[in-house]
Amino acid sequence: MLIALVAYLFPPSLARLKDQGRIIDGEDGTPIAYFPDATGEWKFATPAAAVNPLMLHMLVRIEDKRFWYNPGVDPVAILRATAQFAATGHVVSGASTLTMEVVRLLHPAPRTFEVKLREALQAISLTEHYSKNQILSMWLSLAPFGGSITGVTAASRLWFGVSPRSLDPAQVALLIALCRRPEALRPDLYPQAARRARNRILAQAAREGVINAATATQAEAEPVPRHWQTLPRQTPQLTIGLATNTRTTLNPALNAALARLAGNILTTMRPAESLAILIINAKTRMVRAAYLGDPGNLPRAGFIDLSQAIRSPGSALKPFLYGLAFAEGYAGPRTLLYDLPHDFSAYGPEDFTHSFMGTVSTATALRRSLNLPAVALLNRYGAARFWSALNSVGVPLALPHGAEPSLPVILGGDGLTMRQLGALYAGLATDGCVEPLHFIYGQKQVCARLLSADIADEVANILTRPLPGYLAKGIAWKTGTSAGNRDDWAIGFDRRHVVIVWTGQPDGGALPGAAAIGRAVPILASTFGLLKIYPRQVLPPAKPLSLVAVQQKTPLTMAYPPPHAVLADIGPIRLRVIGGVRPLTFLIDGVPLNSVPALRSAHFVPSGPGFYHLRVIDANGASVTEMLQVKAAESLPSQ
C-alpha cells in the first residue's frame, strides 16, 4: 500500500506522447497526407481500437501474459527472473511488462538498477492513473520499429502500406519481433534475420493458441518487406498547415488523379511556368480536388498555395458585369451592343484580336469576350458600383495602391484569388449566391447574394456551348487572359461541378505564345475528363456571327479620327479602321507608316500643325481616305 501511495504521487510525464506527426484525411476518412513530427520522426497516435485485435492478442500473450490484471509490474516474472539469475549468474529472462516498456519509451534512460526501480514505480503509477486500454494505446503509439518509424500506425503504413486494422498474422509477428530489436532486425537491411525472428514469433503464437498451426505455416511463407512504402502527401500546400486528423473535403481518388494529370501537363510547360486547378462541388462549395502547384519545385515556387495568390482575372469577371446589367435593365441577352473603336476619357481599349465586329448581340459579346461592349456596359453601370457589388459578397478586387475602381477592372486591371474566382463561378453555376469555398469537411459559411437565380441561369445559358477539345455537351465556360499572358484562366461548370484552371508564372512574368484559349482551355477539357458530367441544358443557338463574315462583308471604313476632325498636336495619333481584308497599309501623304499589317490600327506622329492626307489600303485594293487637320494645342478652344 505504501509503494502504491508513493507511486501514485509521481506519475510519468506524457509529453513525448503528445509530440506526434500529423495525418490529414479526405472526405471519406481515408488518409491523404502524412507529416512527421518536429524531429522528423514518423510517429502517429495509435488507439488500441484502431488496431487489428490479433495484434493486441498476440502482443499481450507473447510480451506480457498477465498485462490485463497486473499492477504495472509482474511479481511472478520478477521472482522467476531473480531465481534464474541466482541459479546461472546471468540474466536468462527479463521481468519487464508492457507498462514498464511504456514508461521507458516515455523517458529513455540507461539501463541501471536505479532506472529500473524508478520505471517499476512509475509503471504502478501509470496503472493507477490510466486504464489498460489507454496504456496499450500508449505502447502502440511509442514502440520503435526501425529507423525513424515509431508506433504501429507508422510501421503498418511504411513497412506494409496498410492500416493497423488490416495487419495480417505475418505482419503482426514481424512488428512484435521488430520492436524488440528495431535496428538489428530491420527487414530492409537484414531481411534474413528479420524473417527468422518473425517466424519464431509465429511459432510461439501457435504454441500459445493465438493462431493455429496452418495459419502460422502460411504466414511463415510470406516474404518480408525490403523497403519502405511511400506515404501519400496530397496537396501539401493546403494539408501541411492543418491539424492532425483534420477531415478535408478532398476526394482521395479524384485528388490523386488530378495530381497525375497536372504532373503530365507540367512536363510540356516551361520550367518557370506553373499550374493550379480546383474542382468544386457547385452546390456545397466544397473543393473536391485541388492541385495548387508543383510541390517542391523551386523554379515553379511549388511551396506557394497558388489558390491564394492574387492574380489578374483578365476577362473572367465579364459574366458578373453582364448579370448585374441584366438585373438593372441596362441590357438583355438579345440587346444590340457596339463593338467599335471608342475612347472613354482617354482610355481606348481594343479587343484581343485587334479587330472589331460592329453591331453584335449581348450574348455574342459575352461569348466572344469582346472588350469594347464590356467597357461600354461598365461605363454605364459604374466601375465603383461594380467593385462595391463584388466587395459586398466577400470578393474585394485588389487595386494598385491608391487607385480607385475604374473601367480597366473589367479587363483585368485588378486582382483576386483563385478561391474567390471559384466562389463567384459556383454562385453563377447555381443560384447567384456567393459563398467562400470550403476545404474542411462540415464547414459552412454565410452565402451573400450577387445575382438572382434566374439571372444567374440566364448568364450561364449564354456561356453554355461546345467546349473545345471535349466531346460532351452541356458545359458552360469562360476564359480570362491578363496583359502579357501573365495569367491564363479557363473556368467551366456543369450542373454539379465547377472547374477552374490557372496557368502562368508564379512570379508574374509574361508568357509568350497562345492565350487562355490555347493554353488553359485544353487543360479544362482534360480535367472534365476526370468527372462524371451532369450537363446543362443546351439552348438552340442563334445564328453565329464570325470574324470571317465581318471581314468579307463590312467595307473598309475609317473609325478614328472621325470626318472633319481637328486634332491637337500633343503626340501620337491613333488611327483605326473597321472592315476590309487584312493586311492593311496606312499612308500619310503617300508615304507608308511603320505599322503592323495584321492590325487595323496604327500610330501617326505629326511633324507639326497642318493638313495631312491619310489613306488606308486593304489586301483587295479597297481604300479609304481622310484629310487630317492638326493644330497647335494652344490654338484650340478650351473645353
> 498, 429 in Cβ contact below 8 A?
yes
Backbone dihedral angles phi then psi of residue 161, each to the nearest 5 degrees: 70, 25
Integer Cα distance of 497 and 286 in angstroms: 10
The three cell numbers of residue 521 are: 482551355
Integer Cα distance of 185 and 177 in angstroms: 8
Give strand ranges (E) for 538-584. 557-560, 566-568, 573-578
Cis peptide, bond prior to residue 561, ω within 30 of zero: yes
* Catalytic residue status for 328: no
Closest CA to 604 of 584, 617, 619, 587: 587
Give strand ranges (E) for 425-508. 433-434, 448-449, 476-481, 487-493, 497-504
b vs e for 481-511, b when ≥16 Cβ sit within 10 Å of the residue's Cβ? Answer: bbeebbbbbbbbbbbbbbbbbbbbbbeeeeb
Chain-centroid distance of CA 622 in Å reads: 53
Catalytic residue among 63, 128, 220, 350: 63
The three cell numbers of residue 402 are: 491608391
Integer Cα distance of 585 and 575 in angstroms: 12
* Catalytic residue status for 435: no
Residue 153 amino acid letter: T
Backbone dihedral angles phi then psi of residue 497, each to the nearest 5 degrees: -115, 150
Closest CA to 381 of 344, 346, 400, 407: 407
Q: Is 200 helix (H, G, I), strand (E, B) or coil?
A: helix
Catalytic residue among 96, 307, 315, 369: 315
Beta-bridged to residue 625, according to DSSP, are 615
Say which residue the cell 491523404 belongs to.
Answer: 32
Residues designated catalytic = 63, 315
